[in-house]
Structure 1
Amino acid sequence: MPPPQRKCRKRSAGWKNVLDVLPALCLSAVTYGLLKFPVQRQLGSDRDYYYIDEEFHVPQARHYCLGDFQKWDPKITTLPGLYLLSAALIVPSVWLNRTLLSLVGLFYENSNKDIINPCTLMTLRAVNAIGAPACLYLSYRRCLRLLLQKRNGQSVISEWTIMFLAMSVAIFPVIYAPYSFLYYTDAWATASVFLWYSFHLDKSSSFWLKIVLAMFSVLCRQTNIAWIVFSTIVDVCRCAEQVYPPIQNSASITFYIWTCITQIFYFTWKKKNGSRKWSTLIRTCWHESKSNIVVIGLFGCFVIFINGGDVVVGDRKAHTPSVHPMQLCYFVGFTLVFSVPRLLLTFYNRIKNSKNRLKTIWLFNDNMRIDEMPKTTFIALAGVSTALVYSNTIAHPYLLADNRHYTFYAWRLLFGPSKPVWLRYLPVPLYAYGLYTVDSTLTRLSPAYKLAYWTSTSVVLCAQFLLEPRYFVVPYLVYRLYTDGNEYNNITCKMAVFEFVMYSCLNLIIMSIFLYRPFTSTMDDSGRLDRFTW
């Protein structure tokens, strides 16, 4: 009967929405529980124990909670997105909580302290712990679903795969442990990118909402503007392919750019009424990317007219831009390391299904298949990587001095002054294979994505002097987004579950070292305890 069927459909849709949000709620509850008990107990619940950059972020957030927006610590180098979010969430929540308790005649011990300054260290850390992982999970899951709808629809396998892939991203070790338990900008800076992008992919989203989310993402971290540029390049390329169809036949980035230039020039200047196509291209690009163009324009005005032509605010001496293309080699090495779960499973399946297992194990193959690495390509990429290692192995003073970060010890292991020079060339095959793997994966998508991705990633990384794994997170997750969005089957579902388990184990190890293996600081003579982190 039609009426009962409609009710059943509504009920099933309602349960489906609950199940969609349930993993995010569980993730927030678990993260907050870990923050409340082991983290706060080890870091000290009776006093403010600031971990490294919290020394700057927490006092600044408290100024914003008190409505004092004029005070600014010049040592802070990011825009105040996290502080605005914290004040907007905490101040009304504390006021509402106190009002409700006072109505029923109940008061709590710290009520007067909350009135004076509602943004305690615990509540500020809770903004990251409760909100950022859940937001990243929901946003990444929504992105995967939107990409899947464009390809081949949904299935039970795809739903389970998407859930575990999104959970793996939400607990991605470099931003989850320990930064989601501290008051750092990284967790929300990452989540805000995918929150905005999930609405950008949905063409029915409000124009103003996309502007607000894009601006919030940039306020959390200035370099997030590169990913708005990324989506704009993709949209413009798609519009150009629609107006000038021969562009779609381009196989490489170089030929793609050349075809774009020649097609636009030919039809605009050589053909009669060619200006109509040009005007059509402009109108189509504006319609597809107008929200991005507005935000990019506003950010450009801020940099040029307000911030003196510099992207960094505050302490610019510690973050001076430099030409550092070696960062791309570090990035692809980072990508391979965190792709180990999927590489292992793929490798296992290939050996299992291969007739010639020894040939499968060998990386090189004379056949020019997309998933095999030709010898000539390896030699070329190894040569470029060797040249970069020779000419562009540079170290920021923070990298050489701060022994609280794992990169300090990795650098000393390979590039320390007492180490032989040849040791720094050992990872060259890894760099070459990583560059090929990332590039070949992007090639499967389209030249437009490949052009946009390498442009944005180079802008984000190659101007950074400091080697910092956190800088690699968003480029890696954007790469993952389109890798994960290709197809879903039993193999990819197993890979997603295996990756989630591996990331969970790694987080457990990292947090155990962070909490239970402190060491006496060598940064000063205070005798305080420091802790290891990324």
Structure 2
Amino acid sequence: MTVPLQSVLIVVSAAIFAVTCQIVPDSYLDEVFHIPQTQQYCAGHYDVWDDKITTPPGLYYLGVIYARALSLFTTSPTCSVKALRSLSLVGQLSVLPLVLSLFPVGHRHLSSRTVTLLQLFPTLYFFSFLYYTDVWSTIFALLSIGLSTRATQASWLSVPLKIAVGSMAVAIRQTNIIWVLYALAMEVLTVFVYPDEKGKDRADDTWFLAANARLEDVRSPADLVNAVIGATVRVWRGLSSPTKGPKALKIVCSYGPTVAGFAAFIVINGGITLGDKSNHVPGTHIPQIFYFATFTCALSIPSILSILSQTLTILFFRPLTFAIVTGIITIAIRATTIAHPFVLADNRHYIFYLWRRVLNATPWSRYLFAPGYAIAIYLVFARAVRKDKILSSLVYFGACAAVLIPSPLIECRYFIVPYLLWRIRVATLKAEDQGERGENIIAEYVEIAWYAIVNFVTIGLFLGYSFEWPSDPGVRQRFMW
């Protein structure tokens, strides 16, 4: 099914791209910063910089390389709006599937259905037709993580590749440093924690059992503590082992330069944000986790439905726990909700209407969703990946929290990498647990159809409907994520 699925996706995407460039031929929204800046670089003006740009210039250097490559095959302008937008589409259709092939499912790769499903993820797919940072930021972040899954087979030749990939991920979007650190943590787990010591009986190794416990085995907070202690002990054993010393050095060399370079950037720049710092001040926005969990459930209905009834049953028989969690969520909503000026003012984004008409319709509206958030969090971070190992889940949740909570701006684009990693893990665990059973295949096709519907609506609305601001007559505004 690989050829038919990918062929259909390529043909449909090419048609959407052509229509997009015809209906919206000029730079739109953030493109008004990204495209002129890349064009300056294409013209050799590397000393020119727009102070309103908030991300590093990685995408613009990539755009220049792409434009130079295109110039070898065409006489048409290669640094135009259309040409630069095509860079996103090329990444989405050709590079992303290769990156996803790095993620193992037992002794196999992700199925073609799952790869197509991930490519169609609505927020990512939407920006495949515009010159935004999202597609290539996602590609390099996932590539860094994907390479870490191959740590046990990798040679020293992988070190410069990991440095280059991690550095490029951060150079396109600085918050990708979190995903580089996630890759580092997962590689440490892969090399030192999860493999059994040669000749060691697992049944007699308390720390091995603790470090390899799964979420479904958690009965109390002590189980989480034991897993962390077990991992610490096993890493210490690994570092003390003469056979694993070179592996530790290889990990340090693979990620140290990127982390050190980012630290230097923070010191020199005086913070993580480039340009327009007043509107991008990090904060403590815990409800971002709630929004992400709800968003994930909404876009994974076919996967979630099969465990929803079991989840509700479990929560029904644990009313006190459910009430406590709901109470904590309510307190977090009360204490840390942030209404960013961009959310309040920009009516081109769906979040504007969701905030005004749902979350903030009345002074108490936002609190009504606390029980739903509790269910969504349980579904996403526990139930759906209950077969996952505790440590992998803790590292994933920590990375999601580090990416989302400091952001005062509610942006569905920030959910892309957290969602894709979650969905890859769900697919991996299902395949390992159930094999290629018929209901999984049907569920994935249903999910692909669901994504296609969401994409049809959002892209159709973007292209088919426009409006004007009274303050900016003659300029057509469009709805988008």
* Letter paired with 2:123: V
Aligned pair partner of 1:298 in 251, 256, 261: 261
Alpha-carbon contact 2:208-2:230 (below 8 Å) kept: no
Aligned pair partner of 1:55 in 32, 37, 41: 32
Alpha-carbon contact 1:79-1:222 (below 8 Å) kept: yes
If you compute each CA radius of gyration, which structure gives the higher value, 1 or 2?
Answer: 1
Cα distance, 1:303 vs structure 2: 2.2
Cα distance, 1:342 vs structure 2: 1.7
CA distance in 2, matches of 1:334, 1:453: 17
CA distance in 1, matches of 2:66, 2:251: 32
- Deviations for 1:225-256, whole angstroms, at most 9, x for unmatched residues? 11111122223244146679533333533332
- Relative distance call for 1:69 and 1:438 in structure 2 (3 A) is same
Aligned pair partner of 1:121 in 55, 60, 81: 81
Alpha-carbon contact 1:138-1:166 (below 8 Å) kept: no
Alpha-carbon contact 2:91-2:139 (below 8 Å) kept: no
Q: Which runs of 4+ in 1 moved over 6 A?
A: 278-281
The range that moved more, 494-503 or 375-384, is 375-384
Are 2:272 and 1:323 equivalent residues in the alignment?
no
Q: What is aligned with 2:177?
A: 225
CA distance in 2, matches of 1:528, 1:412: 24
Instruction: Give the % identical residues.
Output: 29
Are 2:435 and 1:435 equivalent residues in the alignment?
no
SS in 2 for 1:363: helix
Are 2:227 and 1:256 equivalent residues in the alignment?
yes
Task: List alignment gaps of at least 5 residues for structure 2.
Answer: 214-222
CA distance in 2, matches of 1:445, 1:432: 20
Give the TM-score taking structure 2 as reference length.
Answer: 0.86
Q: What is aligned with 2:217?
A: none
Are 2:469 and 1:521 equivalent residues in the alignment?
yes
Q: What is aligned with 1:533?
A: 480
Are 2:273 and 1:312 equivalent residues in the alignment?
yes
CA distance in 1, matches of 2:241, 2:322: 41
- Relative distance call for 1:307 and 1:278 in structure 2 (3 A) is farther
* Letter paired with 1:122: K
SS in 1 for 2:28: coil
* Letter paired with 2:275: G
Cα distance, 1:442 vs structure 2: 4.4
- Relative distance call for 1:26 and 1:194 in structure 2 (3 A) is farther
Aligned pair partner of 2:44 in 46, 50, 67: 67
- Relative distance call for 1:42 and 1:433 in structure 2 (3 A) is same
Aligned pair partner of 1:169 in 118, 129, 133: 118
* Letter paired with 1:127: L
- Relative distance call for 1:67 and 1:95 in structure 2 (3 A) is farther
Q: What is aligned with 1:191?
A: 139
Aligned pair partner of 2:354 in 410, 417, 433: 410
* Letter paired with 2:106: L
CA distance in 2, matches of 1:407, 1:373: 35
CA distance in 2, matches of 1:276, 1:164: 40
Cα distance, 1:478 vs structure 2: 0.8
Are 2:404 and 1:461 equivalent residues in the alignment?
yes
SS in 2 for 1:485: helix
CA distance in 2, matches of 1:515, 1:226: 34
Note the 1:303-382 alignment, pairs <5 A. 303-304=266-267, 306-308=268-270, 310-344=271-305, 363-365=312-314, 374-382=318-326
Cα distance, 1:143 vs structure 2: 3.3
Alpha-carbon contact 2:238-2:245 (below 8 Å) kept: no
CA RMSD of aligned residues (A): 2.8
Cα distance, 1:284 vs structure 2: 3.8
Task: List alignment gaps of at least 5 residues for structure 1.
Answer: 1-18, 99-110, 269-273, 348-359, 367-371
CA distance in 2, matches of 1:375, 1:234: 35
Alpha-carbon contact 2:145-2:182 (below 8 Å) kept: no
The range that moved more, 479-488 or 23-32, is 23-32
